[in-house]
Structure 1
Amino acid sequence: PVFHTLVLFPRVFVPSYSAILHLELGACTVNVSSTPCAVRVMLGLVTLSESFSRKEFNCTGPCNLFLASPPWEKWLRITVDSLSGPGAGVSFTVTASFTACWPGGPSSFLSFFQSLNRSQEVSQPGGRPSNATLPANTEVADPPGSCLRDHAVIREDLDIVWVRFRILGDTNIPVQAQLPSLLLLNLDSIADSGGTLVVNLLLNKTSPGIGNATVRACLSAASPVLSLNATEDCETAFFQGYGLNVSTSSPEASLVVPYPESDNWFLSLQLVCPEPSAEYLQAKAQLVVLAYLSPCVDDCGMYGQCSLMRRHGYLYAGCNCKAGWDGWGCTDGTKAQSLGAQTLAILLLTLSNLLFLPAIVVALHRYHLVEAAVYTFTMFFSAFYHACDQPGVVVFCIMDYDTLQYCDFLGSVVSLWVTILCMARIKTMLKYVLCVLGTLFIAMSLSLDRRGVWNMLGPSLVALTIMTSAWVFRCVNRRHCYPPSWRRWAFFLLPGVGLALVAGSVYALTETSENYYYTHSLWHMLVATSLVFLLPPGEKQQESWSWSWSRKLFCRYEICQNDRDEMYTAT
């Protein structure tokens, strides 16, 4: 086994414009003779997320560690493990120093940007960061000259997870081969991590006579890449950046970073010369940069819907793709449905609701007017909701999508509620009170959680409890099974219950996003057909149909005779 002695050192603060971190471990001694001074040095951010890595180094004796592009304005924790063996005490000294990289202009773009508050009040640019902010054991080397060119960027908050970055001055950014141009994209808000960072580059023009010039760009968090002509992986000390290139032959490029890290992001731009020469060193390129943070990529296109979600206190957005489309912006059509398949899907989902017509006719014939009205409401809104729910060009919306969805869910649950109450054959006044009261509670429940499982399960259990209690009460009073007719059980109740159980199984067990169009259409047909079997017989009529109909509708304040037989009768 290898024994380690853990040593934790105070944190080291990395100031802005740090190009190289030099960490030196010197005067390393061991209290055991003839034992080498071997240590393992680990460097990492104090608040390390999954986007940032750690650095480990093994060395014997004096160590000189160099890290290019350390994270700006961050605290680093230095951890040292002794590898000299058990019982070996190790002592050493640590010195941290930084090589600064000043911008070409007299202003500091970080100080300038930090002086901008969210109300877009611009203050005067600040100066360079003072060395007094560094720890006592750090030494800053400030070589003469500059090694980057900065451009002031203003953040404009447009909406939730919607930010636009505007570059002050000319829209064209000059890019040179000698020094990289740097843009700061401030995404330090925790809500920014729930969106999508988009960077678009357009090469406007280049200096004549430089041929197929290439502008290399690197997007990284916490610190910029300052040597684009020497690296191609866009990697900083602890972060793997994103690279993209534009050239005269390919003048446009786009980069999409879903759910970016909440931090300062840096876009480094530099003109890369294939053959360094005096002409290339003086060459320039004009680049148009468009950077913004949006909830979804291109609003998810024609085959997706952008949705804002909140979970565990975090707000984030994403595309809900349909019709087989995939990708961050629903642009991957490798498994997409054809136009004919989309047309068939919308016809199945809408026309399958027409099977509610037999249930409506049976309800009217048996004078279950409330039930018939609810079934009509459900059929109408279910058909138009599914016509509006389809992606692409095969879509038809008569009103707002959210309203259609709510009415569809409400009608489905209320249809189940009034049907079971009708089967209970309770007193008419009590039945109407329960219908209205249950509808109000269902509407409240749907407003809280529209897709909750208890929205349908809760009313079903309550209604079945009421129906079972009413049937048991009649069985006890009459000392006979209720409903009394075996024909009612064999030809109506059992088939209706069987269809309802099959519909519930299809809906809960077999329905997926791939077979949604077929299984949900089958669910519509099975539920609508089961209502025809489950609706109880109407009241026995002693008068003619027309007189009975008018008497029931216009009874008003006179005492009307109730000729209803409480027992089920096979008709």
Structure 2
Amino acid sequence: ADGLFVTDYFTRTPRKLSPFRSFASIELFHFHIPEDTVIAVWNLIIFKEQGGTFGDQCPDRSITVYFRSGAPSVINPLHTHFPRDTAVPGSFALTLTWTLPNRTTGVFNVTSPLPGDWFLAAHLPKDEGKISVKGLYEECQYLFQPQLIVQRLVNIAVLYPGYVTEQSMAPHNRSCLYKVFVPSYTSRVLVEVLRCHGAEGCPLWLRVRAKAPPLHNSTALDCREHSPCQLALDLPFWQHWYYVLVEKHPGVPGTVSFQVVVQLTDCSRPSLARPPFLPSSASMNMPHSFGSAGGLGLGDSPPPTSPNGTKHPIPIPTNSPSIERCWPVRPTLRNELDTFSVHFYIFFGPNVSVPPDRPAVFVINLLPVLDSGGVLNLELRLNVSSLCGENVTVFGCLNHEVPLTSGDNASVTCETESLSGFLLSVNATASLSRLRIPYPQTGSWYLSLRSLCATEHGFEPCTNVTAEVYLRAYLSPCINDCGIYGQCKLLRTNNYLYAACECKAGWNGWGCTDNAEAFSYGFQLLSTLLLCLSNVMFVPPVAIAVRSHYLLEAAVYIFTMFFST
């Protein structure tokens, strides 16, 4: 697509890597990728040092680097067991090997990366456990420095809902890129290509993706095989940009002209599309930095005219497809107690009534950067006495950035083709359900609760039974405060704070709950006794020193005996 590309460069100070023992021993790097980025390239530099010079004699040790968008990676290189009810988000991993005696580099490319915070975590392999005398030789140090180069496209054309944008694609152009802002309470995005004229009918591909420009595997439609060329997305992400890519088929000669229009369906009124023009930008919760060439808000002036086309409103259809309506979203009150110690209180809660005819939807807002370094905890407890003897199951779906309330009662799931979430359920038999998400992505998390009755034909809507659920949501630094065999440590990398467990007595894992290599109680007691009883050997030297009137030496021995443990 035609446009102006801008290249930005970011770098971080080299840091010394440590062997992996727990997440507290890794080195964490924080980057920010701007919007409209088409490619991000990480240049990973590792070099050895020994005694202030190049460490040519240092052994080659592999370095593992993890990448994740939105929050730090939840890594488990030792393959330990996670605590119960813990969700483990995925991340990318890259292992670097040495190409030169004292230096190596690696490259990690991401095409059309998600904008916002990105985190890199790096560490050395676990120590082999060899004992060495410190100070006899210079220690080998392995330093890691990441660098980020991003290329972003400026002045991307903005599509206004309900307005037609005319475009003429010249023979030397392969594609045209647009973006449209999707506000809250939008249940459907419909992108349509109209009046397409080319050498071979309509030789265009229509691709749509949220948050970043489309990729080859994004939702796509071949306009040559579909008439009309319409691409519909149900349950889009709220408060995000959606990117529309119109791409010409390879080898198509001549100019291709077409029109693009986007329709947004307001789920509070499923039979109506959003009007093509609103009185103010606040009506659509749209940011004033709208991203167009003029930087105009939606309500500040009518949509600007495209350089090679015109925009005009089209009639709003009244026969939109039947889409399940969205229900009111109840906010939560944020109460900050300490760093990563936040409670989310429900108005008129914590007991929640789940009616049989509609879901109860709640939103939990996690602040950018500040809340991603802890653990998001969710707890559901069913009041069995409220079921009136019915076989009721309350299902909860926790989804990021858009609530999911499926109308399919036979299959209970929190996932669609474009969404993935976490499922919780409580009933009379199992009245308690918990969920822990370490290092959660920031933004809005939506919890949808609905009650269904189990029958021989599957789950069906209940009648005249309102279930009562105790709901607790909070943010904590570590899982269960790392238990009795660990310590929760607050760590910092530049201006970013995060927490991690540091385990003891051979225990491992994110909550110090993995006892595969744990020391037995007898071994711990024996180690303590040997350490303490070994100091008794200082008693004879103390007695001899006092008898010989060497009081200063006796004082040194007594001091060493009491404080050497």
TM tier, smaller: 0.5 to 0.7
Partner residue, 1:130: 283
Q: Which runs of 5+ in 1 are unaligned?
A: 104-127, 384-571
Alignment counterpart, residue 284 of structure 1, candidates 466, 473, 481? 466
- Partner residue of 2:447? 267
The 2-side partners of 1:7 and 1:379 are apart by 79
> How far 1:259 moved relative to its partner?
0.4
Q: Distance in 2 between matches of 1:4 and 1:236?
A: 38
| Structure 1 partner of 2:492 | 310
Structure number with higher strand proportion: 2
Deviation at 1:241, TM superposition (A): 1.5
Taking only aligned residues, the RMSD between alpha carbons, in angstroms, comes to 4.3
Q: 2:337 aligns with which of 119, 138, 158?
A: 158
Deviation at 1:166, TM superposition (A): 0.7
Residue-by-residue CA offset, 1:418-476 (whole Å, 9 max, x unaligned): xxxxxxxxxxxxxxxxxxxxxxxxxxxxxxxxxxxxxxxxxxxxxxxxxxxxxxxxxxx
Residue pairs, 1:276-355, within 5 angstroms: 280-351=462-533
> Residue in 2 aligned with 1:250?
430
In 1, the alpha carbon distance for the partners of 2:323 and 2:231 equals 24
Alpha-carbon distance between aligned partners in 2 of 1:180 and 1:4, rounded to the nearest angstrom:
52
1:193 is paired with a residue whose SS is coil
Q: CA deviation at 1:347?
A: 3.2
Kindly indicate whether the alpha-carbon contact (under 8 Å) linking 2:208 and 2:244 is maintained by their aligned counterparts in 1.
yes
Cα distance in structure 2, aligned partners of 1:206 and 1:81: 59
Distance 1:213 1:332 in 2: 35
- Identify which range, 348-357 or 287-296, moves more after superposition: 348-357
Question: Is the 8 Å Cα contact of residues 180 and 228 (structure 1) preserved in structure 2?
Answer: no
CA contact (8 A) 2:384 2:427 kept: no
Residue 304 of structure 1 and its aligned partner are, at CA, apart by 1.0
Question: Hey, what's the Cα distance between the residues in 2 that align with 1:6 and 1:358?
Answer: 90
Match of residue 29 from structure 1: 197
Q: Rate the CA distance shift 1:83–1:186 in 2: closer, same or farther, 3 A.
A: same
Contact kept, 8 Å, 2:356 with 2:461, in 1: the verdict is: no
Q: Structure 1: which amino acid aligns with 2:511?
A: G
Query: SS at the partner of 1:174?
Result: strand
CA distance in 2, matches of 1:68, 1:246: 28
Residue in 2 that maps onto 1:85: 251
> In the superposition, relative to structure 1, how do residues 278 and 296 fare at CA in structure 2: closer, same or farther (>3 Å)?
closer
Q: Tell me if the contact between 2:506 and 2:517 (Cα under 8 Å) persists in the aligned partners.
A: yes
Q: Secondary structure at the residue paired with 2:251?
A: coil
Report deviation, 1:376.
Answer: 5.7
Q: What is the rounded CA distance, in whole Å, between the counterparts of 2:187 and 2:498 in structure 1?
A: 33
How does 1:419-430 map onto structure 2 within 5 Å? none
Q: Please give the secondary structure, in 1, of the residue aligned with 2:178.
A: coil
Give the C-alpha shift of residue 245 in structure 1.
1.0
- Aligned match of 1:548: none
For each residue in 1:97-140, what CA deviation from the matched residue of structure 2 results, as whole angstroms up to 9, or x when unmatched? 2222339xxxxxxxxxxxxxxxxxxxxxxxx9725859668979
1:229 Cα offset (Å): 4.3
Distance (Å, rounded) in 1 between the aligned partners of 2:181 and 2:450: 28
Q: How many Å separate the matches in 2 of 1:367 and 1:4?
A: 100
2:184 partner letter: S
Q: Deviations over 1:16-62 (max 9, x none)?
A: 111222222333333xx3366241514131499xxxx9843242334
- Confirm whether residue 60 of structure 1 aligns to residue 228 of structure 2: no
Secondary structure of 1:191's aligned partner: coil
Q: SS of 1:344's equivalent?
A: helix
1:194 and 1:259 in contact (8 A); partners too: yes
Q: Secondary structure at the match of 1:192?
A: coil
Q: Distance in 2 between matches of 1:91 and 1:327?
A: 59
Checking the alignment, whether the CA contact within 8 Å between 1:99 and 1:140 is kept in structure 2 is no
Q: Which moved more, 1:204-213 or 1:250-259?
A: 204-213
1:306 Cα deviation (Å)?
0.6
Matched, 1:14 2:182: yes
1:199 aligns with 2:378: yes
| Structure 1 position 341, deviation (Å) | 2.4
* Alpha-carbon distance in structure 2 between the residues aligned to 1:244 and 1:4: 53
Distance 1:354 1:213 in 2: 67
State the Cα distance separating 1:237 from its structure 2 match: 7.1
- Give the deviation of 1:205 after TM superposition: 3.6
Name the TM-score, length of structure 2 as normaliser: 0.53
User: Any idea what the Cα deviations from partners look like across 1:218-258, whole Å, max 9, x if unmatched?
Assistant: 11221111226456442367552211111111111000000
Would you say the 8 A contact 1:210–1:280 is kept in 2?
no
- 5 Å-filtered alignment, 1:30-45, equals 30=198, 33-34=199-200, 37-45=203-211
The answer to whether the Cα contact below 8 Å between 1:177 and 1:273 also exists between their aligned partners in 2 is no
Distance across 2 between alignment mates of 1:279 and 1:191: 40
- Relative to the length of structure 1, the TM-score reads 0.53
Pick from 234, 240, 261: which aligns with 2:414?
234
| Bigger radius of gyration | 1
Distance 1:309 1:353, change over 3 A: farther
**Percent identity between the aligned chains?**
36
Paired with 1:343 and 1:25, the residues of 2 have a C-alpha distance of 75
Could you tell me how far apart the structure 1 residues matched to 2:421 and 2:555 are?
A: 61
Q: Secondary structure at the match of 2:370?
A: helix
Question: Counterparts of 1:360 and 1:47 in 2: how far apart (Å)?
Answer: 77
Asked whether the 8 Å contact 2:350–2:472 carries over to 1, the reply is no
Task: Please say which of residues 314-323 and 208-217 is displaced more in the overlay.
Answer: 208-217
> Which residue in the other structure is 1:100 paired with?
266
Residue identity opposite 1:258 in structure 2: P
Structure 2 alignment gaps of length 5 or more: 1-170, 270-280, 287-296, 304-312
